[in-house]
Amino acid sequence: MSYPNVWANLEIRHLGVLLAVAESRSLWAAADILDLSPSAVSQQLASLEGIVGQRLVERRRGRRQTQLTEAGELLVRHARAVIARLRAARADFAAFESGAVGSLQLGTFQSVGARIIPAVLREFAGAWPGVDVVLTEQEADDELLVAVEQGEVDLSFAAYPLPEGPFEATELLQDPYVLVVPSSSPLGAGRPARLEDLRDVPLIGNRSPHVRARVEEALREHGVEPRVVMRTDDNGTLQGLVAADIGVAVTPLLTLDEQDPRIRILHLEDLPTRTIVMAWHRDRYRSPAARGFVSAARSVSAQLMSGRLLPSE
């Protein structure tokens, strides 16, 4: 049995050892990660088990995989949150010390990177010439938000709604879903396109979990079982496949080059828009430069929205 005052002996190094074992599933591999001897790792685990009053790891002879107990899995969830908060604190101090110079870590994904980032960087550089913006790019914003939580990224573009976590965000723009077809396609001719028009039509699908779920669930809600013939993570590839008449696609407008003469972009009224936001860790210090970048992103997004003509037929 453990007592609350005994937990005062728990140290960050104990949690670091437990996480290393959890991620590597081996005392030997954890020792390599931490630059410790296997016996030192085992001693640290034993000390932690004594503090919490529960066996955390099922030890096995030799270099075979090590399994966490149910209590170990429970403590690992808390350990990850503690370590993530410490990383965020370290990033805070780096941002605080840098002031108006240094770097700003920004998370972004493909469609935002192509259409919004260049204009935002141009506007931001004029106001903050001493701050370098370092981009972290991912296909899915879930991974970017994990980086925000762990202090690896200061700000990140994301799609609303955000997952549960220590996040705050400001809305930047509404990005409508559209139907993109080859320029010679009869779809949508003479009237607005509808999701029902896509019954038995070959589709080029997106691998992004958010886009994929939104589009394919909407099709099924309208009685259409998606006939996906190919998927791609690359926006240019998706547009090229449509232009080559391999299939049509339902995708956010920001992912497309609207000037491509090989395709037609049709407005869809029966699919909600995608809300793009800028997100940050709600408990972290936001430097003046970070706040300035958010302001620049909002300004550029407003200009984009006011200057965009939504396609319609």
Tens digit of pLDDT for each residue in 5-44? Answer: 668 788 888 888 888 888 888 888 888 888 888 888 888 8
Residue 103 lies in a domain: yes
Q: Identify the pLDDT of residue 98.
A: 57
- In this prediction, residues 52-59 reach a mean pLDDT of 86
Average pLDDT, the chain: 86
Per-residue model confidence (pLDDT) at position 35: 85
Q: Are residues 138 and 110 in the same domain?
A: yes
What average pLDDT does the segment 204-209 reach? Answer: 85
Mark whether 59 and 104 lie in a shared domain: no
Residue 293 and residue 263 share a domain? no
- 147 and 287 inside one domain: yes
Those residues whose C-beta lies under 8 Å from the C-beta of residue 126, and which sit 6 or more positions away, are: none
User: Has residue 158 got a pLDDT over 50?
Assistant: yes
Distant-in-sequence, close-in-space partners of 300: CB < 8 Å, separation ≥ 6: 116, 119, 120, 123
- Structural domain tally of the chain? 3
**DSSP track, 45-84:** HHHHHHHHTS--EE--STTS--EE-HHHHHHHHHHHHHHH
Residues 296, 242 within the same domain:
no
Q: How far apart are CA 191 and CA 166, in angstroms?
A: 45
Domain extent at residue 218: 177-272
Q: Is the pLDDT of residue 101 over 70?
A: no
- CATH number of the domain that 228 lies in? 3.40.190.10
Q: How many percent of the chain have pLDDT more than 90?
A: 41
Instruction: Indicate the length of the chain as a whole number.
Output: 313
Return the pLDDT at 310.
40
How many beta carbons lie within 10 A of that of residue 97, not counting itself? 10
Residue type, 281: H
Poorest-confidence range of 180-189, 279-288, 303-312?
A: 303-312
Question: Is there a single domain that holds both residue 76 and residue 194?
Answer: no
Task: Give tens-digit pLDDT for 258-304.
Answer: 889 999 999 887 888 899 999 999 988 888 889 999 999 999 999 88
User: Does 85 or 231 have the greater pLDDT score?
Assistant: 231
Residue 105's pLDDT band (boundaries 50, 70, 90)? very high
Q: What is the dihedral of CA 200, 211, 214, 209, to 10 degrees?
A: 100
In this predicted structure, what is the pLDDT of residue 27? 83
- The pTM (predicted TM-score) of the whole model is 0.66
| Domain final position from 49, 84, 119 | 84
If you average pLDDT over residues 185-213, what whole number do you get?
85
The first and second tokens of residue 290, run together, are: 């970070």
20 occurs within a structural domain: yes
User: Per the domain annotation, does 191 fall within a domain?
Assistant: yes
Q: At residue 117, what is the residue type?
A: I
Domain membership of residue 11 (yes or no) is yes
In a domain, 92, yes or no: no
Tell me the C-alpha distance between 202 and 150, whole Å: 41
